[in-house]
Amino acid sequence: MAYLERGWFVLKWFFALWAMSHLVRFFFPRHIQENFERMDLFLLGRITAIPVFLSNLWFLAATILYFLGNFAVLLLLGFGVFMLSYSVNLHLTNIEFTFEWWYQLAKQLVEEKAAWSGATMIVGATVAIAHMWKLNLDKKQYFEKREKERHEQYEERRKKELERLKRSTGSV
């Protein structure tokens, strides 16, 4: 916490000195004034880069968490399939393909909590997979829409520039 307080103190003093430099820079020689202007441009570049950096950091964190989520969903699906299949395997003593046999197997599985938890994991994982597919589709559509808008803006600027050039060469 002390570093945060010291950093805030230094930032306030730096801002105060920078603001005062605008008042006194006119009394300095031209080469020092140019140095002040370069400092201003440098600071402006760093300040305007903060949102881009944060956006890139957010995108990186979201991408990492997305892939971790995919991995966790696949693990959940695998555990669910294992638990349900093992529960079914435990109750397969005497295989008969009759309606009564299927009914008895289903009745035994319904009474077992492990089978229910396995089935619930499978359902939850499939819902999560569907949501991730939807997220992928939405992301793809979003970027396609942005690309289309940028292309339209580019074409519009290009047409305006061509019209301006035609007018300027036609008037000469």
Element (H, E) at 50: helix 30-90
Burial group, residue 61, by CB count within 10 angstroms (0-12, 13-18, 19+): exposed
pLDDT of residue 71: 94
Q: With a cut of 70, which residues of the chain have pLDDT below it?
A: 171-172
The answer for residues whose C-beta is within 8 angstroms of residue 153's C-beta and 6 or more apart is none
pLDDT at 158: 93
Q: What is the pLDDT of residue 172?
A: 52
* Domain range list for the chain: 2-171
Count CA atoms within 13 Å of residue 136 on its CB side.
Answer: 9
* pLDDT at residue 79 in the model: 94
- At 124 the pLDDT is 94
Please report the pLDDT score of residue 112 as a whole number.
87
28: tokens are 């300095």
SS3 call for 172: coil
Q: What one-character DSSP code corresponds to residue 95?
A: -
- In this prediction, residue 76 carries a pLDDT of 94
pTM: predicted TM-score of the whole model, two decimal places: 0.58
Please report how the helices 99-110 and 113-171 are oriented relative to each other, as an axis angle in degrees rounded to 10.
80
Which residues, in sequence order, are CB contacts of 159 under 8 Å at separation 6+?
Answer: none
Would you say 121 and 77 are in contact if contact means Cβ atoms under 8 Å apart? yes
